[in-house]
Amino acid sequence: MYRVGNGYDVHRLVEGRKLIIGGVEIPYEKGLLGHSDADVLIHAIIDALLGACGLGDIGALFPDTDPSYKDISSLILLKRTAEAVEKANYKISNIDSIVVAQKPKILPFVKAMKENISSVLNISVDRINIKATTTEGLGFTGTGEGIAAYAVAGVYSCETR
């Protein structure tokens, strides 16, 4: 059986925080605000994977009221998500995603992001796609107030149900 899930996340850009997207620290004057490292792309991917497996959402699995998740690398949360996917007897087919940001340029960091995600999920790099777009100056991403990310994940199970 084949299933899909989607994920969406937004974090606010503020001064005094590192900008971490896809597990890569991107040099920029601002960073994303959040309880964890606020890795907007990884959060969208986690929600897509959980959605595909019918396992709820990131807030249920990793509550932001839990002090153990403060400033945690979202790659660790992604690893735990991969374990939950495996426990539910699903394998990851592919991930497609979009980072929506007016600035900074995302493309130069996409290769490193894909390598991070590939090694954490233990799937080949060619099963992961990361796209980037601006919103032509429109909306909260266009004004630079925040960065958004969308993701879709496909999973499959060898069981018939």
Residues 60-79 that bind Mg ion (CB under 5 A): none
DSSP helix, strand, coil percent of the chain (3-state; round to 5)? 35, 30, 35
In the complex, the smallest distance separating the C-beta of residue 117 from Mg ion, rounded to whole angstroms, is 16
Assigned token pair, 61 = 């699995």
Size of the site for Mg ion (CB under 5 A): 2
With CB under 5 A as the contact rule, which of the stretches 2-10, 47-55, 101-109, 148-156 interacts with Mg ion?
2-10
Interface pick for Mg ion out of 21, 23, 32, 43 (rule CB under 5 A):
43
Q: How far is the C-alpha of 7 from the C-alpha of 41, rounded, in Å?
A: 9
With CB under 5 A as the contact rule, which of the stretches 7-15, 21-29, 99-107, 120-128 interacts with Mg ion?
7-15
Q: How far is the C-alpha of 98 from the C-alpha of 36, rounded, in Å?
A: 20
Residue 135 is classified by DSSP as: -
Interface pick for Mg ion out of 9, 147, 148, 150 (rule CB under 5 A):
9
Between the two ends of the chain, the Cα-to-Cα distance in Å is 7
Query: Which bin fits 22, alpha (ψ -120 to 50), beta or left (φ > 0)?
Result: left
Q: Which is nearer to Mg ion, 28 or 69 (CB)?
A: 69
Binding of residue 37 to Mg ion (CB under 5 A): no
Is there a cis peptide before residue 27, judged by omega within 30 degrees of 0? no
In the complex, the smallest distance separating the C-beta of residue 155 from Mg ion, rounded to whole angstroms, is 21
Binding of residue 17 to Mg ion (CB under 5 A): no
With CB under 5 A as the contact rule, which of the stretches 42-50, 64-72, 125-133, 145-153 interacts with Mg ion?
42-50
Applying CB under 5 A, which residues contact Mg ion?
A: 9, 43
